[in-house]
């Protein structure tokens, strides 16, 4: 009985940790970012709800710097590089985007900055990417509401979450373990996923809009090609 109790407690601790990790907020790990949240600092960092942007510098590239105050160069990126910009910091026209993840031109996936050290890019050197919201605006007349009764989301089938139908840009690969977390039963009734619209593309493939977790990844997955064309991470 003691062993069973210990295993049960261990499981509860593990699932709580997984839930917290999946819903946690990524932030840069530097003094500038931390100081913007103090009362005496007149700069601010605002969470970006549509976080995907493309490099569009006048010189054909953009430069990431350590912080807006310490503009030591970290790296340059060619125009067309895509960034996940989680916060926009600064004031007035002096705005800077924090780099959470980078997708180089021609690549399918983003490379996450788990250490929070990729720096900042001048916001004026970025343009918004074509994302799920833009797709919805372009195809609003072709969309219908998607309900969980229309398909078995929790059947255990892995899938790739894309920025938009047929975009070729992968946000996440949802494997069996991740899907088990998403489909756990919570006493509070909380669900870490939410469905949006349903879309059928010109080839007849069915797509479902979905948001994952409280801190969301917002994209689409294909019911007829769940993992086709995607990249499964190797840990």
DSSP structure string for 69-110: SS--EEEEEETT-EEEEEEEEEETTEEEEEEEEEE-TT-SBP
Digit-by-digit pLDDT tens for the chain (235 residues) are 333 333 333 333 333 333 444 456 789 999 999 998 887 777 789 999 999 999 999 999 999 999 999 999 999 999 999 999 999 999 899 999 999 999 999 999 999 999 999 999 999 999 999 999 999 999 999 999 987 677 888 887 899 999 999 999 999 999 999 999 898 887 777 888 989 999 999 999 999 999 998 556 899 999 999 999 999 988 7
Q: Cα 15–212–183 angle (5° rounding)?
A: 45
- Which residues partner with 55 through β-bridges? 126
CATH class of the domain whose range is 31-129: mainly beta
Alpha carbon 169 to chain centroid distance?
12
Every domain of the chain with CATH number 2.30.30 lies at: 31-129
CA–CA separation, 213 vs 33, rounded Å? 24
User: Which pTM was predicted?
Assistant: 0.84
């Amino acid at each position: 009985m003691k062993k069973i109790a210990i295993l049960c407690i261990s499981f509860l601790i593990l699932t709580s940790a997984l839930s917290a990790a999946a819903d946690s907020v990524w932030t840069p790990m530097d003094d500038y970012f931390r100081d913007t949240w103090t009362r005496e600092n007149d700069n601010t960092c605002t969470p970006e709800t549509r976080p995907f942007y493309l490099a569009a510098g006048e010189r054909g590239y953009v430069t990431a710097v350590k912080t807006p105050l310490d503009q030591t160069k970290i790296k340059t990126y060619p125009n067309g590089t895509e960034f996940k910009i989680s916060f926009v910091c600064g004031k007035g026209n002096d705005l800077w985007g924090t780099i959470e993840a980078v997708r180089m031109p021609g690549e399918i996936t983003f490379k996450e900055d788990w250490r929070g050290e990729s720096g900042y890019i001048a916001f004026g050197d970025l343009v918004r990417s074509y994302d799920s919201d833009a797709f919805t605006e372009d195809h609003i007349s072709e969309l219908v509401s998607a309900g969980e009764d229309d398909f078995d989301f929790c059947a255990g089938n892995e899938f790739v979450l894309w920025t938009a139908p047929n975009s070729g840009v992968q946000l996440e690969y949802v494997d069996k373990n991740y899907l088990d977390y998403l489909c756990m039963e919570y006493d509070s009734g909380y669900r870490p996923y939410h469905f949006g619209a349903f879309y059928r593309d010109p080839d007849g493939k069915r797509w479902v809009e979905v948001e994952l977790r409280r801190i969301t990844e917002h994209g689409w997955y294909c019911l007829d090609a769940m993992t086709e064309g995607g990249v499964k991470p190797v840990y």
